[in-house]
Amino acid sequence: MTTATKWALAVGALALALIVALLPRSESMPPEPDTDLGPAREQAALAACAPARNGAAEGFSGVEVHCLGDGSRVEFADALGDGPTLVNVWATWCEPCREELPLLAEYAARPDAARVVTVQVQSSPEDGLRLLTELGVRLPALHDGEGATGPVRKALRVPTGLPASYVVEDGEARLVTEPRLFTSIDEISDAVEGAG
């Protein structure tokens, strides 16, 4: 092999490596931890993550997360369902989240309530299942990963302070800022109704 051929191969290999490094990558959902969560899931008895829908949340298609209740992968858009949906982002270490989650469950039990979906972040699925069981909260729950960011957090542009609630309707998400933390069912109801 001549020196020119060796140089051509080396330059070609470097060019190929550069192309691969610069190609856009889709944000993939990290695999669920390899632990047996069956008993914890059974005890938590969470509601299904993805109801039937008519495409009301198409703005979030392609955003995949794990369903905390059964470990399946679901599209965030499918979990939202039709009509307005209240999405609550929480973490197990967040004390205000512990106070807010039971209120959200109480609101969701009302016949006139919008769908409520929770999104656990920055802690393990096992810790999330344990907390929801302890609180008696059986809402649909998504797990957006244990790290500093995840697909749902990126799609919603979730602030650093938790909890964070959004009213999602017609593919649009509105961060609830008044109040930032729900302390009553009436506040939840007002936030959902005020989004329309």
Residue 154 falls within a domain, yes or no? yes
Instruction: Point out the least confidently predicted range of 1-15, 17-31, 49-63, 151-165.
Output: 17-31
Residue 185 falls within a domain, yes or no? yes
CATH code of the domain containing 119: 3.40.30.10
* Residue range of the domain that includes 68: 57-194
Global confidence as pTM: 0.78
Residue 140 falls within a domain, yes or no? yes
User: pLDDT tens across 56-83, in order?
Assistant: 566 787 889 999 998 889 889 888 877 8
User: Do residues 137 and 101 make contact, with C-beta atoms less than 8 angstroms apart?
Assistant: yes
Task: State the pLDDT at residue 154.
Answer: 94
DSSP string, 136-183: T--S-EEE--SSS--HHHHHHT--SSS-EEEEEETTEEEE--SSSS--
Task: State the pLDDT at residue 25.
Answer: 40
Reported as type and span, the H/E element at residue 83 is none
Q: Percentage of the chain surpassing pLDDT 90? A: 54
Place of tokens 């542009």: 157
Residue 44 falls within a domain, yes or no? no
Residue 50 falls within a domain, yes or no? no
Instruction: Count CB neighbours of 67 within 10 A.
Output: 23
Question: How many structural domains does the chain have?
Answer: 1
